Amino acid sequence: MKNRIFLLVFFMGLIMTSCSKDEIEEPTPKPPDTGNPDETPEEPEENPDEEATISFLPSETPSYMVDASATAETVALFYNLKAISYSNFIVGQQDAFSSFYNDNDGYSDIKKLTGSDPGMLGSDFMFITDDQNNGQPNNWFYQQEQMIKQNAIDAYNKGMVNIFCWHLREPYEGDNFYTSEMTEFQKQNAFKSILPGGANHEYYKKKLQKVAEFTKSLVGEDGKQIPIIFRPFHEFDKDFFWWGAAYSSPQEFIDVWRFTVEYLRDELGVDNMLYAFSPDNSYSTETTYLQRYPGDAYVDVVGMDNYGDLSPQDGSRIGIANKKLQVVSDLAEERVKIPAFTETGYFVTPSETYLAPDFYSDMLYKVLTDNDIKVGFMMFWQNSADTYTVPVPGTDGAEDFMDFIEKPEPWLLEDMSNIYDLPADE
């Protein structure tokens, strides 16, 4: 195994020392205090060999967050994820505690292979907010809610990060989220209908109330509210979800995003949430990435979901994927956000059985590290009965995945110190 002690010491040293209604503003760094208001500070000399480090003090963290009144643990999570991104990245998996290859439950599949749980658990608000969830103990959807809740609590108690997406069903019938299963009327009107003043706006507010109720109810064994990262409307640049770009204008998308944040934060009092902006891979420039960006005041995490560019097992699009992730990395640095690879993986299925022998240790690793990009975390999608994105012992890619994890940058749970403690200013 790589030298865990060295990495932990390095990380602790790092964190201790170191379009829309309104025009999107670029953050302006504060000049150093020279003691003379008439004196123009000299530009610091650049040192190409100097390691990049976090640019603000721990105590200044809330001023860069969507919620300046966030809980202490949520503030610490923001700061530490930002600090981690300069040298490492946390590796997570969706539904790691509830969805397994060959339905072989027990330990997470990552732990079965590596001996460590992932550093992040991905979950979904879908069943929690389902119309059929009546809150009764014998209700299947409510039972799923309770399982998801316990898994999130267990993850926090272990020291992991929790992240939630939301496959919200369309608001007319409450049945589907894929547009391929919706009527033309539903596709063209569902998103617009949840805008303030829209036909389904009150319905949407009730769903947000459920999200708030659930999120605020997450309490760890330490008695503290558990921070989560929330990824609403993920992969919004494509057309396969009803919140996709084909079904709303950029301004309408921004309006719904801003309402969502303001309603959760200001009206419902959710203070244990970071907000993640995560399109799919259709962009190629900063301009196209920001086309639906709601503004720095409404985003904590800038990310990218990308399966398509990692699908060719000849590696022909790996450089393209890296360039797209570099857009995320650069924007996070400019705007003081957490950079992330919010979903990825290659699905080994009964019909797609070929996995490049160096997919994890070379191809995926290059996406995450070439051109000195910074990423605070990356997340594989779930394993299931006959499909995996993370191999288990005895499957193709298992040794290669271990080679990937053995590299200096990837962190599983066993590599992490307490991510919910904010270091003191120095």
Active-site entry in 170, 235, 333, 409 = 235
Would you state the pLDDT for residue 52?
79
Tally of domains in the chain: 1
Q: What tokens does 18 get? A: 């170191």
Active-site entry in 73, 145, 343, 409 = 343
Q: Is residue 245 part of a domain?
A: yes
The reply to whether 343 belongs to the active site is yes
Give pLDDT tens digits for 176-226: 999 999 999 999 999 999 999 999 999 999 999 999 999 999 999 999 999
Q: What tokens does 346 get? A: 């290659």
**Contact of 304 with 324, CB cutoff 8 Å:** yes
- Per the DSSP assignment, residues forming a β-bridge with 231 are 165
- What is the domain extent for residue 71? 4-17+55-415
Q: Is residue 42 part of a domain?
A: no
**Residue owning tokens 């950029």:** 250
Statement: the pTM of the whole predicted model exceeds 0.85: yes
Position with higher pLDDT, 11 vs 191? 191
Backbone dihedral angles phi then psi of residue 22, each to the nearest 5 degrees: -110, 150
Q: Is residue 39 part of a domain?
A: no
Residue 161 pLDDT exceeds 60: yes
**Buried b / exposed e along 6-29 (16+ C-beta atoms within 10 A):** ebeeebeebbeebebeeeeeeeee
What is the sign, positive or negative, of the torsion defined by CA atoms of 131, 132, 138, 143?
negative
Position with higher pLDDT, 202 vs 6? 202
Would you state the pLDDT for residue 426?
86
CA distance 80 to 21: 31
Q: Is residue 47 part of a domain?
A: no
Q: Is residue 230 part of a domain?
A: yes
Would you state the pLDDT for residue 44?
37
25: region left, alpha or beta (phi > 0 left; psi from -120 to 50 alpha): beta
Give pLDDT tens digits for 52-104: 789 999 999 999 999 999 999 999 999 999 999 999 999 999 999 999 999 99
The reply to whether 39 belongs to the active site is no
Would you state the pLDDT for residue 23?
31
All residues at 6 or more sequence positions from 359 whose CB lies less than 8 Å from its CB, including other chains: 313, 346, 397, 400
Where residue 311 sits, what CATH number does that domain have?
3.20.20.80
Length of the chain: 426
Q: Is residue 43 part of a domain?
A: no
Q: Is residue 31 part of a domain?
A: no
Q: Is residue 35 part of a domain?
A: no
